[in-house]
Amino acid sequence: MGKKKKDEMEKMRKDFIDGAVNKKVNKRYAENLFDQIEQFAGYGFNRCPSVLML
């Protein structure tokens, strides 16, 4: 999930929220959850590179 690729993030957001709503998850909850995931994408990175940095 690359935050720098806006068009891909928007598609992922729509797919995620639509999928959650189809599974009877509240739309507002799904939107908030995706917002949190998106924020993490800004500073999270793979475990493998993080180990190499130690």
Question: What pLDDT was estimated at residue 39?
Answer: 85
32 domain-assigned:
yes
Domain that holds residue 25: 6-52
40 domain-assigned:
yes
State pTM to two decimals: 0.69
Question: What pLDDT was estimated at residue 41?
Answer: 73
Looking at the 3D structure of the chain, how many domains does it have? 1
28 domain-assigned:
yes
**pLDDT of 3 above 80:** no
What percent of the chain is helix, strand and coil (3-state, nearest 5)?
A: 70, 0, 30
1 domain-assigned:
no
Under 8 Å between Cβ of 3 and 45: no
The interaxial angle of helices 27-41 and 6-22, nearest 10 deg, is 150
Q: pLDDT tens across 13-51, in order? A: 999 999 999 999 999 999 999 999 888 876 666 556 555
**pLDDT of 54 above 70:** no
